[in-house]
Amino acid sequence: MSLKVKCPICGYKCTKTEYAKHLESYHVEDYQRIVDEINKDIKNGMSIKDVAQKNSLTERFVKGVLGYRTLVKEEMTNYNVSKAKTEIWEPEDFSLETTTVWGFPDRGDWATHSGKYRGNWSPYIPRNVILRYSNENDVVLDQFVGSGTTLVEAKLLGRRGLGVDINPDAVKLALSNVNFEHKCGLADVHIGDARNLDFVKDSSIDLICTHPPYSNIIKYSDNIEGDLSHYDIPEFLKEMYKVASESYRVLKRGRFCAVLMGDTRRKGNIIPLGFRVMEVFCKAGLTLKEIVIKEQHNCTSTGYWKKQSIKYNFLLIAHEYLFIFKK
């Protein structure tokens, strides 16, 4: 029989396996603090076993935390920077979305796309946005480029992709993913800060298509200064205003900016992060044209979470918002 752990915050009793899930669901800030402490302890030479015992967690969970933080580097080992070897360059039976609800049960694995980079978006999203809101040879900017999903689609569709990321490892991964010769558009990737795109001229971008971090829900680097995935919601929104202002500056008049953003929970209550980010972009001068509800088909809807949602009376978040703005 598994030993019970008592949550020091609310007194809930559960197994070590359930404890991590309980913290993530009901005590998000404390959960993030523990994750940060785990990484610090490991860096300071503490063993995985000792870290697990210290925090009343399983060794498997501690290994998982370390896996998230090293994911980009592991992906670089897998990809290297060799040219892509694939025969599947387009999605099968693709058709352009025509409503304000989008859902992609098949995430999409054509070309160099992979779902291994935690938090990246389905390539169906930038494909739809690029086809609807840009033309061949247009310049498409993604200032949170991550693993390069947007740039891969821009290149496949004959556009000129410009990617920016503050994380050098993400830039290397994006460069490897766009290193193919097919069709073919162009792709350029820079290490940079989405809040200050000083190397991009005013009114030079035809389309912005980007997927920022959702505050500090997933941290994409180890304390890189300016990485917005380390900012809690109030500061995150302040910094996103700078991102929105730069987006307005570099975008051509009459052209479009697409931003994917999701909500979160704090202390059991929903935080409408999506709409708060939407307001930030409107405040920066952009006009809201469309709101697309993007269904999440691969969210954490396991039997465990379904039971928890009924037991503690909360709904599982199974959607994100794709905001389409116009300058």
The 10s digit of each residue's pLDDT in 214-232 is 876 666 667 787 778 778 8
Confirm whether 234 is domain-assigned.
yes
For residue 323, what are the CA distances in angstroms to 18, 302, 312? Answer: 35, 28, 31
Q: What is the pLDDT of residue 277?
A: 97
User: 182 and 64, same structural domain?
Assistant: no
Positions of E strands within the chain: 4-6, 13-15, 101-102, 139-142, 160-165, 186-191, 205-210, 251-261, 264-266, 269-271, 287-295, 319-326
Confirm whether 271 is domain-assigned.
yes
- Is residue 183's pLDDT more than 80? no
- What single DSSP character describes residue 229? G
Paired with 326 in beta bridges are: 256, 287
Mean pLDDT confidence for 229-253: 94
Dihedral (CA of 269, 295, 322, 153) sign? positive
Confirm whether 89 is domain-assigned.
yes
User: 41 and 182, same structural domain?
Assistant: no
Stated pTM of the model: 0.74
User: 59 and 184, same structural domain?
Assistant: no
User: 194 and 136, same structural domain?
Assistant: yes
Confirm whether 196 is domain-assigned.
yes
User: 93 and 225, same structural domain?
Assistant: yes
Q: Which two structure tokens, joined as six digits, stand for 208? A: 């912005």
User: 308 and 201, same structural domain?
Assistant: yes
User: 99 and 62, same structural domain?
Assistant: no
Cβ contacts of 229 within 8 Å, gap of 6 or more: 213, 215, 216, 217, 218, 219, 220, 221
Greater confidence, 11 or 233?
233
User: 112 and 26, same structural domain?
Assistant: no
Instruction: Report the percentage of the chain scoring pLDDT > 90.
Output: 41
Confirm whether 77 is domain-assigned.
no
Q: What is the pLDDT of residue 309?
A: 80
Mean pLDDT confidence for 254-264: 95
CATH number, residue 107: 3.40.50.150
Say if residues 124 and 91 touch (Cβ distance below 8 Å): yes
User: 134 and 108, same structural domain?
Assistant: yes
Q: Name the band, by pLDDT with cuts 50, 70 and 90, for residue 28.
A: low
User: 271 and 124, same structural domain?
Assistant: yes
Q: Which residues of 197-206 are buried (b: 16+ CB within 10 A; e: fewer)?
A: beebeeeebb
Last residue of a domain, one of 19, 34, 68: 68
Paired with 165 in beta bridges are: 191
Last residue of a domain, one of 68, 90, 109: 68
User: 87 and 114, same structural domain?
Assistant: yes
Last residue of a domain, one of 68, 91, 121: 68
Tell me the per-residue pLDDT of 278-317, one tens digit each, with 9 for 90 and over: 999 999 999 999 999 999 876 544 566 678 788 888 888 8
User: 126 and 29, same structural domain?
Assistant: no
Confirm whether 74 is domain-assigned.
no
- Is residue 25's pLDDT more than 70? no
- Is residue 1's pLDDT more than 80? no
- Is residue 139's pLDDT more than 50? yes
Q: Name the band, by pLDDT with cuts 50, 70 and 90, for residue 189.
A: very high
Confirm whether 226 is domain-assigned.
yes
Number of domains comprising the chain: 2
Say if residues 288 and 278 touch (Cβ distance below 8 Å): yes
Tell me the per-residue pLDDT of 315-326, one tens digit each, with 9 for 90 and over: 888 899 999 999
Confirm whether 73 is domain-assigned.
no
**Domain span holding position 141:** 82-326
- Is residue 69's pLDDT more than 70? no
Highest mean pLDDT among 24-33, 122-131, 170-179 belongs to: 122-131
- Is residue 138's pLDDT more than 80? yes
